[in-house]
């Protein structure tokens, strides 16, 4: 446990809701990973990778959150901080998030570590870095921690450290938190609208596989995951998906230094998303719980606290 966080929220931006919404609405960052590469996957699908590479000895692989992409402000501001500190950067887009719908009926999801594995293997094959660090946000943070936990004992030596922010370590707990009346009105409606648009696009591609009529009445992640995520990706139901794809049970196995930063007032997270006992018993897994910050927000100053904190931990 990191008992004292260095983050302090601006006094004029109180509460987790404001600290989540305002940075999301006003956050802007210059595009610094402007070199696009398409990675063809063994299953016939593809991933779009966005690079900044200058042949440096350190590479950071950045994984974005739900219904975002590699151009998101939090990803690009993180990339800029890492580039300034001496890293090359690869920010990758989940399936269907890079501006073009992916080829297969499946989507991306919170436990699809096979895609992160493919990205890392490709990066290590084409980039000269002697060290590869990982950074993830929200869903991308869960994916990163799950990958590290399930790959413990067989990770390449080149994999160094990881820093993740605002992670729903327990997907069921996070789903319950987001199903509250306020969160359904503020966030869930936007997520379901975006995911629904992708379902309709998939239906146009695979009408015999995707039943667009099942969108009727979808109002929560439980609804969506029960009707689409679980059956499309081989899970029994939403509960099975959440249980098998949450990183929480795997955190104690992690054998690389990693830092999880979850704000205490994050409106997306429930109590199980703050794994204090795991951190207290692990030499590798570090947990920092700032009193404020919201969900992938952490506003204040020049807006670069997450970047500075990541660089500090990766260098330590």
Q: Can you give the residue ranges of every domain in the chain?
A: 16-170+250-315, 175-245
Per-residue pLDDT of the chain (316 residues; tens, 9 = 90+): 998 999 999 999 999 999 999 998 887 899 999 999 999 999 999 999 999 999 999 999 999 999 999 999 999 999 999 999 999 999 999 999 999 999 999 999 999 999 999 999 999 999 999 999 999 999 999 999 999 999 999 999 999 999 999 999 999 999 999 999 999 999 999 999 999 999 999 999 999 999 999 999 999 999 999 999 999 999 999 999 999 999 999 999 999 999 999 999 999 999 999 999 999 999 999 999 999 999 999 998 666 999 999 999 999 8
Is 225 one of the annotated active-site residues of the chain?
no
The residue from 48, 115, 223, 266 that is catalytic is 266
The residue from 138, 166, 175, 282 that is catalytic is 138
Is 43 one of the annotated active-site residues of the chain?
no
CATH class of 16-170+250-315: alpha beta
Kindly write down the DSSP assignment for every residue of the chain, as one continuous string: -B-S------TTS-SHHHHHHHHHHH--------EEEEEE-TTS-EEEEEEE----SEEEEEE--TT--TTSHHHHHHHHHHHHTT-EEEEEPPTT-SSS--SSS----TT-HHHHHHHHHHHHHH---SEEEEEEETHHHHHHHHHHHHTTTS--TTEEEEEEES--SSHHHHHHHHTSHHHIIIIIHHHHHHHHHHHHHHHHH-TTT--GGGGTT--SHHHHIIIIIHHHTT-SSHHHHHHHH-SGGGGGG--S-EEEE--TT-TT--GGG--HHHHHT-SSEEEE--S--TTTT---TTS-HHHHHHHHHHH-
Is 138 one of the annotated active-site residues of the chain?
yes
């Amino acid at each position: 446990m990191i008992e004292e966080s260095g983050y302090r929220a601006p006094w004029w931006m109180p509460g987790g809701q404001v600290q989540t919404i305002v940075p999301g609405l006003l956050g802007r960052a210059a595009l610094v990973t402007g070199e696009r590469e398409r990675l063809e996957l063994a299953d016939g699908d593809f991933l779009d990778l966005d690079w900044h590479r200058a042949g440096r000895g350190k590479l950071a692989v950045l994984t974005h959150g739900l219904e975002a992409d590699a151009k998101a402000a939090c990803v690009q501001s993180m990339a800029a901080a890492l580039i300034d500190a001496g890293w090359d950067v690869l920010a990758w887009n989940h399936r269907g998030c890079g501006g073009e719908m992916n080829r297969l009926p499946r989507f991306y999801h919170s436990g699809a570590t096979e895609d992160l594995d493919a990205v890392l293997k490709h990066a290590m094959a084409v980039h000269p870095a002697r060290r590869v660090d990982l950074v993830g946000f929200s869903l991308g943070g869960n994916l990163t921690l799950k990958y590290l936990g399930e790959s413990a004992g067989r990770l390449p030596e080149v994999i160094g450290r990881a820093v993740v922010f605002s992670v729903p370590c327990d997907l069921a707990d996070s789903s319950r938190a987001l199903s509250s009346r306020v969160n359904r009105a503020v966030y869930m409606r936007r997520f379901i609208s975006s995911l629904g648009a992708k379902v309709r696009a998939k239906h146009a591609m695979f009408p015999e596989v995707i039943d667009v009529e099942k969108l009727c009445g979808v109002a929560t992640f439980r609804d969506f995951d029960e009707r689409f995520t679980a059956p499309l990706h081989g899970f029994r139901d939403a509960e099975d998906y959440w249980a098998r794809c949450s990183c929480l049970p795997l955190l104690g196995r992690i054998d690389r230094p990693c830092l999880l930063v979850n704000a205490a007032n994050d409106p997306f997270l429930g109590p199980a998303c703050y794994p204090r006992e795991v951190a207290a018993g692990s030499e590798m897994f570090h947990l920092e719980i700032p009193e404020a910050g919201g969900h992938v927000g952490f506003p204040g100053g020049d807006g670069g606290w997450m970047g500075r904190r990541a660089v500090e931990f990766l260098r330590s």
